[in-house]
Structure 1
Amino acid sequence: MPEIKLTPEEIRYISLFQDVTKAVVRDCIIDNENNRIIFLVEGKDMGMAIGKGGVNVKKLRKIIGKDIEIVAYSDNLEELVKNLMSPARVKSIKIINSNSRKSVYITVDPQDKGLAIGKNGRNVVRAKLILKRYMDIDNVVIV
């Protein structure tokens, strides 16, 4: 796994998130382009992180003033991709290496394609940010 250096701002967000949710945060990515903060938490802490009826997400959104997205982290590429695409149903995941670039092709249920891509492609952007950071994948393609 690559070494990840957090900025002071990311460290502050992690601290705030952990204070509010009591969930353990593995990583925090600030995506200013999409006005959101993405938190990666351990899978077992997802319920605690979101809170009953999304109460923690709402509280954090209000405090920070940005969208809050929470993804269950996994060291396993397939698990991580499924978590990133959720609630879209992932049928298969294929990694293609070409010219020292790694691409992941994610096949989802045809009905879930829009869900997987997200509004203006924001879920693909989130997947790219996280998969580049952890798995050194350069490109994400939804098929």
Structure 2
Amino acid sequence: MTVTLSDEARQYIQAFDELTGVTPVDCLIRDERIVFLVPAGKMGTAIGPHGETVQQVEERLSESVDLVENADDRAAFVANCLAPAAVRNVTLSEQGGSTVAYVEVPQADRGVAIGAEGESIETARELAARHFDIDDVQLT
């Protein structure tokens, strides 16, 4: 699947790469934050010791930054999108040409999975659609 990036997203990716040595797979630009999709296994490098590297990125971009770790498996990808919520299970259902990911999270983590004003679940939906043609993400 091909992801189309805006010029602004490409500039953010370049700046992130320069500061962290990690080239993001994708970049979503939100009103008050930027979400980078980091290659699998590169999250620690992107965050840096004690979060210092990602803090440098936030300072340079003058934006809040969220990181999501990429995955080859659709269920693992959806779970990563909702981190740090504890995801117990992801079930993918395909009906009528659409795919829905049903995500089981403990009641205590529902707020984390949803995020302030629904930002976390919306980010998960957009990334899942962009990278795995998943039409919706629902919490169970």
TM-score past 0.5 threshold: yes
CA distance in 2, matches of 1:5, 1:122: 21
> Per residue, is there more strand in 1 or in 2?
1
**What's the TM-score, normalizing by structure 1?**
0.89
Equivalence for 2:97 = 100
Identity of aligned residues (%): 30
Per-residue deviation, 1:40: 0.9
* Aligned residue number for residue 69 of structure 1: 66
Aligned length: 140
The Cα RMSD (Å) is 1.4
CA–CA separation in structure 1 for the residues paired with 2:86 and 2:57:
28
Determine the C-alpha separation between the residues in 2 that align with 1:86 and 1:97.
24
| Corresponding residue for residue 57 of structure 1 | 54
Q: Which ranges of 4 or more aligned residues in structure 1 deviate by more than 4 Å? A: none
Q: 5+ unaligned residues in a row in structure 1: which ranges?
A: none
* Residue of structure 2 aligned with 1:40, choices 23, 37, 40: 37
Q: Retained in 1: the 8 A contact 2:75–2:92?
A: no
Residue equivalent to 1:10 = 9
- 2:117 is aligned to 120
Q: CA deviation at 1:31?
A: 2.2
Per-residue CA shift, 1:62-84, capped at 9, x if unaligned? 22222111111012112112211
Say which of 77, 80, 85 aligns to 2:77: 80
AA in 2 matched with 1:139: D
**TM value normalised by structure 2:** 0.91
